[in-house]
A and B are shown apart, each in its own frame.
Chain A
Amino acid sequence: MSAVATAGPAVPAGSGGRRRRGRWNAPLVAGLILFGLIVALALCAPLLTSQDPIKQNLQAAFLDPGAKGHLLGTDALGRDVLARLLYGARVDLRVGVVAVISPLIIGSLIGLVAGWFGGWVDAVIGRIVDMVIAFPFLVLVIALVFAMGPGTTSIYVAVTLVGWVAYCRIVRGQVLVAKEQEYAMAARASGLPTWRILLRHLLPNVVLQAIIFSMSDIVLTLLAIVTLGFLGLGVPPPTPDWGTMIQEGQQFILTKWYMATIPGLAVVVTGLALALIADGIVEKANQ
């Protein structure tokens, strides 16, 4: 009995020809196009600009957008804004996506164990979840990054330590339903080792909700990373990062309003693209 053949009712049937038209919905398509464009811009950064994002040139500081050789102008240290924007996208998108994957994996596995074994295992995990949830996400992430020292590794670890609880709760709830279903009982009755039942049979059926949630979680994680940069606690300088750019621009908001606005727009558009994808996927899953 293979896991694919026994994919239970937890997975919505999407292959029926009747539903073909419902496969792609407008938010999903718009979001994917927009996000694809942003990723392409980030990947092609060296082709789109010949400027070095961290090279300072104090004699060419505060150039307005449209200045010769600097399409979006330069910042207070004379660094090219376009180059920093494009290379910043690489940093922020990479950190954002990676920082969602490890809580997704770890949280799902812990949720799987809690839901399957129940009893004291579930009780202990439940208490730990309650503790972590009591902290505002951003506060605990900031405190952890502070304690571990700045850097991308600290951000990954902090987001994982705080973020896994959401996935744990989602998957645990799904497992509680799935383990009473026939395919799970059959797997158990056939004497398969527990790890095999959990990973091969249950996981594919319960992980969908967690993946759907991870889509909107990316938006929140990206915002958290940009916010960390804005607070001066994110990716350490001189690495370009949108949050740091906004924070630097805010100091000159009276005279150079676009310095904070350009990276701000980048955050909003990326957030919108990811939010559209998340919305589209939820809509698709609900069909």
Chain B
Amino acid sequence: MRYLVYILKRVVSLIPVLLGISFIVFFLIRLIPGDPAATLLGVHATPEAVKELRDQMGLEKPLLSQYLTFLGHLLQGNLGFSYVYNSSVLGLIGTSLPVTIWLLVSGTFFTLLIAVPLAVLAAARRNGVADNIIRAVPVVGLGLPAFLLGIVLILVFGLKLGWFPVGGYGDSLGEHLRGIVLPGITVALTLAPIVIRSLRASMIEVLSSDYIVTAHSKGISTARVVLGHALRNAAVSSVTVLGVNIAYLTGSTLVVERVFSLPGIGQQMINSIFGRDFPTVQGITLVFAIMVVVVNLLTDVAHSALDPRVQLT
């Protein structure tokens, strides 16, 4: 019950941010140099068609009333209509969003798979050889673009070894799963260094605390002390770091989808940019921001679930 009230409060507190997001997305289209209606319709549009679209978009009305109309449409789930795909923007996003969510889930899964063991190893054998190597990785990894990693993985595991498809999402669940592994690892390799750094630091702090000394002195095995006693407490701060960075990485899914030809919303956004399909670009930008807000909310909830000391207010 306490959780429900907390989550409800958090959702309500998101309303101003969501309003702000809609405001920025609304103004995106006003940045287009010249007449947005003429740009939307392309160079071959007749003046009549431009005028009709101007009326339809309400470009003659004052800015505030234009925004309110836009907001009204949003609340009804109407993100506009794509003239390029001849479909509603919501429909386009509906078919591609699951792919992006799968990619994020797979990326998070592989991040944990890579980061947790390495961070625990580094912290447990502090200043050892493994620790020094693991500590150097984030510095090297920071300047590594995600799309380059993707290309290397395709080259090695897709083309040379043939373990995974070179790109695409397939049609069956099995093909989906095989197709999402390399993109997931690509996302994980850019995210893992940051998580390793944070988890290692908090593990070291926890391992030097009194209750760990007590546990050791009771004769509990090192493995159990590290994994059973220390990891849970150290994980709390890393969940926040992971959450913040998943939000950041939501942006790089766009590039990863492009490299692996995954039909997610990032790929759709790039295609729509080349098709000069403004309503779709606008809609997807909005969805990306909403995803970040939702991930942040889930991070807070996970944080409070892991750490009972966190006040639910």
Contacts and interface: CB of A to CB of B under 8 A. Distances in A.
Contact of B255 (A130, A135, A231): A231
A131 B24 contact: yes
Interface stretch (B46-54, B235-243, B246-254): B246-254
B20 A130 contact: yes
Interface residues of B, number: 47
B21 A134 contact: yes
B139 A146 contact: no
Chief secondary structure at chain B's binding surface: helix
B273 interface: yes
A147 interface: yes
Contacts of B293: 134
A246 B147 contact: yes
Contacts of A260: 151
B288 A136 contact: yes
A275 B139 CA distance: 6
SS class, residues of chain A in contact with chain B: helix
A279 B146 CA distance: 21
B248 A135 contact: no
A128 B16 CA distance: 10
A270 B284 CA distance: 32
B252 A138 contact: yes
A268 B292 contact: no
A45 to B, nearest CB: 22
Which of B31, B143, B285 neighbours the largest number of chain A CB atoms within 10 Å of its CB? Answer: B143
Interface string B252-283: 10110011000000000110011000100110
A26 to B, nearest CB: 11
Interface string A256-274: 0100100010011011111
Interface residues of A, number: 48
A250 B147 CA distance: 10
B200 to A, nearest CB: 15
A143 B139 contact: no
Given A271-B144, A274-B143, A142 B20 contact: no
A131 B23 contact: yes
Given A134-B21, A134-B293, A127 B16 contact: yes
Interface in A119-159: 127-128, 130-132, 134-140, 142-144, 146-149
Contacts of A223: 143, 145
B281 A146 contact: yes
Contacts of A273: 143
Contact of A131 (B17, B142, B154, B273): B17
Contacts of A206: none
Given A268-B144, A275-B142, A137 B248 contact: yes
B217 to A, nearest CB: 33
A264 B155 CA distance: 14
8 closest Cβ pairs, A-B complex: A271-B143, A136-B251, A131-B20, A138-B251, A147-B31, A275-B142, A139-B288, A143-B285
